[in-house]
Amino acid sequence: MTVSFIRTIILYIFIIIALRLMGKRQVGELSPSEFVVTLLVSELATIPMQSTAIPLSHGIVPIFTLLA
């Protein structure tokens, strides 16, 4: 239980950083392509959150790749 909690907190921090780098604060300000990237980021973050067998880097690296 503690491992899942810590993994969730770490991914949450990386998602907040990623969204701040996008520069938008509200969903209404997003263009369609930015909205799709936001949905992809949330989907990529759920995979390592659900399974402790998957390393966190398998979620963090694709998130920052999308932002680049």
Cβ–Cβ < 8 Å for 67, 21: yes
CA distances from 53 to 27, 29, 44, 48 (A): 32, 36, 15, 8
Q: Please report the pLDDT score of residue 18 as a whole number.
A: 78
Q: Please report the pLDDT score of residue 11 as a whole number.
A: 85
Cβ–Cβ < 8 Å for 49, 43: no
Q: Please tell me the pTM assigned to this model.
A: 0.67
Stretch 45-63: mean pLDDT, rounded?
83
DSSP letters of 49-67? HH-TTS-THHHHHHHHHHH
Tens digits of per-residue pLDDT, 10-36?
888 888 887 777 776 666 777 888 788
Q: How many CB atoms lie within 10 A of CB 62?
A: 16
Q: Please report the pLDDT score of residue 27 as a whole number.
A: 67
- In the chain, what percentage of residues exceed pLDDT 90? 0
